[in-house]
Amino acid sequence: MNPNSLVSIDDLSKEQIIELLETARYFEEHPNHKILDGKVVATLFFEPSTRTRLSFETAVNRLGGRVIGFSDASTTSSSKGETLKDTIKMVSNYVDLIIMRHFLEGAARYATEVTEVPVINAGDGANQHPSQTMLDLYSILKTQGTLENLTITMVGDLKYGRTVHSLLMAMKYFNPTFRFVACDELKMPREYVEFCKKQGIAFEEHSDFSREVIDSSDIIYMTRVQRERFSDIMEYEKVKDLYTLHNAMLDTSKENLRILHPLPRVNEISQDVDDNPKAYYFDQARNGLYARQALICRALGITPEK
Ligand code: CP
């Protein structure tokens, strides 16, 4: 495995996370910094994406590198039966870095085992989404001025939501208090609850998205119920609209509260929240560009001269 690969947020130490956040801040101030001259990056998306793929590709372009890849695997030889192993080996012949999203949990780890080229996991099934976590951390830091001692409420699909799994793990360095708001069917998986216990992270589990929970939060992290992870569509229909954030629910919330969402949203944040200054999800997505510029440089072993 190339040591610069990033499969799980747990691959990064606290110091590495902080350094990446400082580099992201640098790129926010200097987004066009041509330090990838001669580098070619592959974006292999076996699952749909808007933000992750386009922000990674924008990041490469703004850094002066080149991008190859696909956003629809049905146009590639995987539709003829080529294995993931062979696909990764072939692409490794052409590029300096592979950025991959795949529907199978563990696919990114597997990819790192069959190539010497660094791999960045852009989401593997319901498992991990570490580049999203870097932009989430950057967004939290920018809006709160710190990552330490914050109360973070995660709402919605905590079972399949890879973004909440990655964020929860990264926050172990910063003494958070978590509230997990979900119905029984979509509760935070036991392994992450056990992770919190082992790390001494304070958490509460709620089925009600109550005023009390909202009013004591510094961050509310809304998530979409992921239809694509359900094998039974009736099960999805039962739970898809259980939690919707409306503007009126924020009337007595803390001044510093910010609403995050990895996006795309469906019904879980009402459009009347969009103009509330506490809504931060569109800015959060823009931060993805800077966080991903930092991750690409790390993966390629390039340090921008600051
Ligand atoms: N947040 C996120 O992963 O969005 P996309 O699925 O559009 O990439």
Give residue 29 CA to ligand 1 midpoint distance, Å.
24
Ligand 1 atom closest to the Cα of residue 54 is 8
Whether residue 25 contacts residue 258, with contact meaning beta carbons closer than 8 Å, is answered with: no
| Main-chain dihedrals φ then ψ at residue 205, nearest 5 degrees | -110, 130
Give residue 82 CA to ligand 1 midpoint distance, Å.
26
Residue 236 tokens, joined: 């999805």
Instruction: Quick: pLDDT tens for 154-165.
Output: 999 999 999 999
What was the pLDDT predicted at 7? Answer: 97
Nearest to 137 by CA among 265, 19, 263: 19
Put simply, whether the predicted model's pTM sits higher than 0.85 gets the answer yes
CA neighbours closer than 13 Å in the CB half-sphere of residue 147: 19
Q: What's the mean per-residue pLDDT of the chain?
A: 96
At 232, the pLDDT band (50, 70, 90 cuts) reads confident
Give residue 129 CA to ligand 1 midpoint distance, Å.
9
Span 164-189, mean pLDDT? 97
What is the best residue among 49, 224, 260, 295 to mutate for testing ligand 1's pocket, by most ligand atoms within 8 Å of CB? 49
Q: Percent of the chain scored above 90 by pLDDT?
A: 93
pLDDT at 11 over 90: yes
pLDDT at 306 over 80: no
CB of 49 within 6 A of ligand 1: the answer is yes
What was the pLDDT predicted at 138? Answer: 98
What was the pLDDT predicted at 231? Answer: 85
Catalytic residues: 51-52, 80, 101, 129
Residue 152: which H helix or E strand, with range? strand 151-155
- Using CA atoms, how far apart are residues 209 and 155, in angstroms rounded to an integer? 8
For each of the domains in the chain, give its residue range(s) and CATH number, in order of start: 9-129+288-299 (3.40.50.1370), 130-285 (3.40.50.1370)
Between 279 and 234, residue with greater pLDDT: 279
pLDDT at 201 over 90: yes
Q: Is the C-alpha dihedral spanning 167, 169, 170, 175 positive or negative?
A: positive
What was the pLDDT predicted at 173? Answer: 98
At 229, the pLDDT band (50, 70, 90 cuts) reads confident
Between 42 and 240, residue with greater pLDDT: 42
Nearest to 126 by CA among 107, 98, 152, 113: 107
Instruction: Quick: pLDDT tens for 96-153.
Output: 999 999 999 999 999 999 999 999 999 999 899 999 999 999 999 999 999 999 999 9
Q: Is the C-alpha dihedral spanning 109, 111, 112, 113 positive or negative?
A: positive
- Using CA atoms, how far apart are residues 151 and 233, in angstroms rounded to an integer? 34
CB of 51 within 6 A of ligand 1: the answer is yes
CB of 217 within 6 A of ligand 1: the answer is no
- Cis check: omega of the bond before 130, within 30 degrees of 0: no
Instruction: Quick: pLDDT tens for 257-275.
Output: 999 999 999 999 999 999 9
- Using CA atoms, how far apart are residues 180 and 202, in angstroms rounded to an integer? 11
Span 21-49, mean pLDDT? 96
